[in-house]
Amino acid sequence: MKTLSVSHLLGIKNLKLEDLHLIFETATHFKEVINRPIKKVPSLRDITIANLFFENSTRTKLSFELAEKRLSADVINFSSAQSSINKGETLVDTVNNILAMKVDIVVMRHPNSGAAHYISKHVKSCIINAGDGTHEHPSQALLDTFSLQEKFGNLTGRRIAIVGDILHSRVALSNIYALKMLGAEVRLCAPKSLLPKHIESMGVSVSTDLMEVLNWCDAVNMLRVQNERMELSYFPNTREYSQNFGLTGERLSQLRKKIVVLHPGPINRGVEITSEVADSEQAIILDQVENGVAVRMAIIYLLASKLNIPLK
């Protein structure tokens, strides 16, 4: 059986191209499973998974939980708001106490960049990063690139634009790693204040001209402005941001071809994308969400197969 080159999923940076192909191949199989009348397989019947969310989430949390249940794992959920974190317990103590209840895999979202790497070094468990601060969101990039491959066949030479708050975006960083690994060309578009310095050294091009970027690309991934991570003002106001960087039906209608529109969610309708575009045929936003379950089933299944527990 083919296996992943890693024992944790901490970021796309740590993966090899063969890992991406294996995850996509396995996700394709699981996508067929979750579209059957009986959407479940017994594979992880003897595995227990803890979902630890120290930061808000809708899609990622529910998608991981559903993926785990579709694989027949036992699942426990932890949310920091109602936990003893508020009484001063450390992250390592919290995770070790949960692991003492015989948990095999930890899925963790945390507001601090590097939290998943840190915990993987300090506890004995398989760790899956469900988003750490402004660092990486590997399962999101895997479902985004899986969805793009479904549309285009393969991504070699495809032109993919990422527009919006690149500076604060773990989705952007993980997507850049994944898209480059799969052979795509990547162009970033944002106000200069929301572009990290020296980002071109990752092998991407940069523009502040949205129409130029939209005319260049085959697909555009629209990012949310992450006000919760901003301590400063990065642009004058939301109206001006939308005028310069918002994706509207009018802008799409001026292009020479039909491009594919992605958004990782949550959407700020009327800010980075209008409802007309988000709900249009060109948008594959809900396909991304559907694929998220299959891709997360693949990630969990492949990592679980590296544990010393026989799968069913």
Question: Of 183-191, 202-210, 215-223, 260-268, which part binds ligand CP (CB under 6 A)?
Answer: 260-268
Q: Which residues inside 172-211 make contact with ligand CP, applying CB under 6 A?
A: none
State which residue, 127 or 171, has the beta carbon closest to ligand CP: 171
State which residue, 131 or 164, has the beta carbon closest to ligand CP: 131
Give the number of residues written for the chain.
312
State which residue, 94 or 175, has the beta carbon closest to ligand CP: 175
Write the interaction track for ligand CP spanning residues 52-71; mark x where CB under 6 A is met and - where it is not: -----xxxx-----------
The owner of tokens 């796309």 is 12
Supply the minimum distance, in Å, between the C-beta of residue 65 and ligand CP: 11
Segment (H or E) for 91: helix 91-99
State which residue, 41 or 160, has the beta carbon closest to ligand CP: 160
Supply the minimum distance, in Å, between the C-beta of residue 12 and ligand CP: 15
Question: Which amino acid is it at 255?
Answer: L
Question: Of 79-87, 182-190, 258-266, 278-286, which part binds ligand CP (CB under 6 A)?
Answer: 258-266
CA 289, CA 240: separation in Å to the nearest integer?
30
Give the strands of the sheet with 219-222, arranged side by side.
205-207, 185-189, 159-163, 219-222, 260-262
Query: Please, what's the b/e burial string for 73-82 (b: 16 or more CB within 10 A of its CB; e: otherwise)?
Result: bbbeebebee
State which residue, 70 or 109, has the beta carbon closest to ligand CP: 109
Contacts of 135 (CB under 8 A, 6+ apart): 11, 113, 114, 170, 173
Told to check if 138 binds ligand CP by CB under 6 A, we report no
Query: Considering CB under 6 A, how many residues would be counted as binding ligand CP?
Result: 9
Supply the minimum distance, in Å, between the C-beta of residue 260 and ligand CP: 17
State which residue, 43 or 63, has the beta carbon closest to ligand CP: 63
CA 175, CA 159: separation in Å to the nearest integer?
13
Supply the minimum distance, in Å, between the C-beta of residue 42 and ligand CP: 27
Supply the minimum distance, in Å, between the C-beta of residue 223 and ligand CP: 10
CA 134, CA 229: separation in Å to the nearest integer?
8
Supply the minimum distance, in Å, between the C-beta of residue 2 and ligand CP: 28
Supply the minimum distance, in Å, between the C-beta of residue 60 and ligand CP: 3
State which residue, 94 or 140, has the beta carbon closest to ligand CP: 140
Q: What are phi and psi of 310, to 5 degrees?
A: -65, 135
Ramachandran region, residue 125 (left: φ > 0; alpha: ψ -120 to 50; beta: rest): beta
Q: Round to the nearest angstrom and report the end-to-end CA distance of the chain.
A: 14
Closest CA to 303 of 125, 42, 142: 125
Say if CB 103 and CB 76 are below 8 A apart: yes
State which residue, 96 or 226, has the beta carbon closest to ligand CP: 226
Told to check if 265 binds ligand CP by CB under 6 A, we report yes
Q: Which residues inside 20-59 make contact with ligand CP, applying CB under 6 A?
A: 57-59
Extended beta strands in 210-268, E state: 219-222, 260-262
Contacts of 104 (CB under 8 A, 6+ apart): 47, 48, 49, 125, 126, 304, 307, 309
State which residue, 58 or 154, has the beta carbon closest to ligand CP: 58
Contacting residue, 26, 48, 94, 140, with ligand CP by CB under 6 A: 140
Q: Which residues inside 76-135 make contact with ligand CP, applying CB under 6 A?
A: 131
| Contact residues: ligand CP, CB under 6 A | 57-60, 131, 140, 264-266
